[in-house]
């Protein structure tokens, strides 16, 4: 049973509609001209800086492309005041937004942490008509946890996850991270991996032909892949 205290259905519906209208999720993408729409999916734990990094990377990697953003944190803060008790309700709305974006062939940024590999791959299968790019943002768990705590303390974010929860999410991501960079090129067009401990730095790239470029620092995160695929 949900612990969410926000039970005003009229309020939820009103603010959900505002987000739909803001991103024009209910309107078809008319700018494709026969090309596939683009989907960018992120992987990275709380506090690594995914949202900030995407603001920097998206215009560089995809100039002149308009995206809609599917982000549960934005929904949670906009409708449920950042309440962790309303995650189930947030996920339901988030999935509805994703379905609308796919139906209308929107270019989309799907912001997720990727800790659930099977769920992530399910979403990728739903995007079979898209050209898919995966962007992975990494940072040491302790550094990420400090950032998340600082964002909450300064009022930059309403999200108040416990340090242990943040560290557990990073641990789950670490257990599956190499699976992501090994997704075949027939499924995911490009894969970019960035280290964001201090300054955003590209450490691994896999192109549409399945070829890898690895910086030496990639060995820290992908020791097995680095040994066999370094260029």
- Of the chain, the percentage scoring pLDDT greater than 90 comes to 55
Tens digit of each residue's pLDDT (9 = 90 or more) over 40-99: 999 999 999 998 899 899 999 999 888 998 888 888 888 888 777 888 888 888 888 888
Does residue 231 register a pLDDT over 60?
no
Q: Characterize the bridge pairing of strands 201-206 and 190-195.
A: antiparallel
Tokens of residue 1, six digits = 């049973």
User: Domains of the chain by range and CATH?
Assistant: 35-229 (3.40.50.300)
Q: Which pLDDT belongs to residue 182?
A: 94
Supply the pLDDT for residue 1. Answer: 55
168 pLDDT exceeds 80?
yes
Measure the CA–CA gap between 148 and 146, rounded to whole angstroms: 6
Structural tokens at position 114: 């990727």
Residue in 70, 102, 75, 99 with CA at minimum distance from that of residue 15? 75
Q: In angstroms, rounded to a whole number, what is the distance separating the alpha carbons of residues 102 and 69?
A: 12
The H-assigned helical ranges of the chain are 9-23, 50-61, 72-80, 87-103, 117-126, 141-153, 163-181, 218-221, 223-229
Nearest to 108 by CA among 92, 97, 96, 117: 97
Q: Mean pLDDT of all residues in the chain?
A: 88
pLDDT, tens digit, for every residue of 126-154? 999 999 999 999 999 999 999 999 988 88
């Amino acid at each position: 049973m949900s612990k969410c205290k926000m039970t005003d259905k009229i309020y939820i519906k009103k603010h959900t509609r505002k987000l739909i209208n803001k991103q024009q999720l209910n309107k078809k993408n008319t700018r494709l001209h026969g090309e596939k729409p683009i989907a960018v999916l992120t992987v990275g734990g709380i506090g690594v800086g995914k949202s900030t990094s995407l603001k920097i990377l998206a215009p560089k990697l995809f100039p002149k492309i308009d995206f809609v953003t599917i982000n549960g944190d934005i929904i949670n803060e906009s409708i449920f005041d950042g309440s962790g008790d309303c995650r189930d309700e947030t996920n339901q709305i988030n999935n509805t937004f994703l379905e609308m974006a796919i139906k209308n062939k929107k270019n989309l940024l799907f912001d997720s942490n990727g800790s659930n590999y099977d769920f992530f791959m399910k979403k990728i299968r739903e995007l079979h008509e898209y050209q898919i790019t995966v962007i992975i943002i990494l940072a040491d768990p302790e550094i990420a946890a400090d950032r998340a705590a600082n964002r909450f303390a300064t009022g930059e974010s309403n999200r108040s996850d416990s340090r242990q929860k943040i560290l557990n999410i990073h641990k789950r991501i670490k257990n599956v991270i190499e699976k992501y960079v090994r997704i075949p090129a027939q499924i995911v067009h490009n894969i970019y991996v960035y280290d964001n401990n201090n300054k955003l730095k590209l450490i691994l790239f896999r192109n549409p032909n399945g070829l890898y470029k690895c910086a030496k620092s990639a060995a820290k995160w992908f020791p097995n892949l680095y040994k066999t695929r370094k260029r």
